[in-house]
Amino acid sequence: MATDEGTYEYKLQHGDDFGRTYFRRFDGLAVSSLGLGSYLGDPTDAVDARYRDAVATALESGVNVVDTAINYRNQRSERAVGKAIDDADVDRDAVFVATKGGFVPFDGERPENPGEYVTREFVDSGLVAREDLARGQHAIAPDFLDDQLDRSLDNLAVDQIDLYYVHNPETQLHARSREDVYDQLEAAFTRLEERVADGDVGAYGVATWNAFRVAEGADDYLALPEVASRARKAAKAAGNTATHLRAIQLPFNVFMADAFTAEVHEGPDGPQSALWFAREAGLNVFTSASIAQGDLTGEIPADVSDQLQGDSPVQRAINFARSAPGVTSALVGMSRPEHVEENVAAGRFDPLGADAFDAVFE
């Protein structure tokens, strides 16, 4: 598991190579404000090998945040990440590993009949009740998450996952009411609080796509204040003195800035954006789609680009995400070592200050 001592030693080793606030705090850990994502790519041996090389290169170059999920590339991304952590010339206690559970995963490759596979491997086996499935592919029931967490520990070959996300819980809104989804989240959080107490998880979070950045009346909206409240109840139910809900993940980039601009969560003094609510609630934010899954490798709007530091559009796009208030780490997909080299170089530039970032939206 990542430790205070291990991550701070890593920061001391690499910190001089980077600009201001490149390393940030996650509780007592020192984590890089650039993280490696592992979502994209075909489920092939060749892509596995490229991910192993990319992750090892990143870890040896100053990136100690690695993000994955059990369903990414049919469990291959988790397995590639685990192998890379073992192969890299970096101690495990310096690496912050995050993964997710929620979408029913295939194993190595997509089956010819996905529905039949899900029924056979998960429903008929008793791992998930049919009524807990949304869209035939998603569940967050406690027993299912228990199984998925155990599989992720095996895939990653680690004793503890530093951050475990409930993955896209808004998917459940296609099958049940919002209140029922909050109840589901509370049950899931209670089980994760228990897994924290058991030492299998360091902290947990909620990874979303739409839930925290759409209007309150939208079909896939979830309220961050209610999610946080359910986590506090879960901690109490599990016998823990405080909640271990520590993070949210959501898309954020130049073209998808709703997490900063959409004031859709009720804060102490009125509506707040997801980023501001999270910051004031003490929740870390990890941004997905930080370069819009590659779309920002081209030119970004000139009025924004002119205010950002970086030698290339992708570096400036990364630094836009790193500049947003409350962001702990901007996640970027990196499946090739050459991607790592350019992306890591973004961290050698300072992010925007708060006033300069606000000015982008004026």
For CA atoms 328, 332, 335, 337, the dihedral sign is: negative
Percent of the chain with pLDDT over 70: 98
Residues 279-304 have a mean pLDDT of 82
Tokens coding 154: 């095996």
**pLDDT tens for residues 248-283?**
999 999 999 999 999 999 999 999 999 999 999 999
According to DSSP, the β-strands at 201-207 and 245-251 are parallel
Residues 160-185 have a mean pLDDT of 98
CATH code of 345's domain: 3.20.20.100
pLDDT at residue 305, rounded to an integer:
81
CB 151 within 8 A of CB 195: no
**pLDDT tens for residues 71-125?**
999 999 999 999 999 999 999 999 999 999 999 999 999 999 999 999 999 999 9
Q: What is the DSSP string of 208-248?
A: -SSTTTS-TTSTT---HHHHHHHHHHHHHHHT-SS--EEEE
**C-alpha span between 51 and 41 (Å, rounded):** 9
**C-alpha span between 205 and 285 (Å, rounded):** 10
What's the domain count of the chain?
A: 1
| Mean pLDDT value across the chain | 95
pLDDT at residue 303, rounded to an integer:
77
**C-alpha span between 52 and 62 (Å, rounded):** 16
Rounded to the nearest angstrom, the gap between the alpha carbon of residue 147 and the centroid of all alpha carbons in its chain is 20
Tokens coding 88: 């890299």
For CA atoms 246, 333, 264, 217, the dihedral sign is: negative
**C-alpha span between 298 and 304 (Å, rounded):** 13
pLDDT at residue 292, rounded to an integer:
84
pLDDT at residue 64, rounded to an integer:
98
**Beta partners for residue 26, in sequence order:** 29
Tokens coding 196: 């924290």
**C-alpha span between 333 and 89 (Å, rounded):** 21
297 pLDDT tier (thresholds 50, 70, 90)? low
Domain, as residue range, for 289: 4-360
The residues near 347 (Cβ < 8 Å, ≥ 6 apart) are 17, 18, 19, 22, 32, 33, 34, 62, 318, 322
Residue 225 Cα distances to 212, 230, 322, angstroms: 10, 9, 24
pLDDT at residue 296, rounded to an integer:
53
**pLDDT tens for residues 233-252?**
999 999 999 999 999 999 99
**C-alpha span between 206 and 264 (Å, rounded):** 17
For CA atoms 50, 55, 60, 61, the dihedral sign is: positive
Cα angle 250, 255, 257; round to 5: 45
299 pLDDT tier (thresholds 50, 70, 90)? low
Output the pTM of the full model. Answer: 0.97
Tokens coding 115: 């529905």
301 pLDDT tier (thresholds 50, 70, 90)? confident
Count of alpha carbons within 13 angstroms of residue 111, beta-carbon side: 13
Task: Give the three-state DSSP class for 104.
Answer: coil
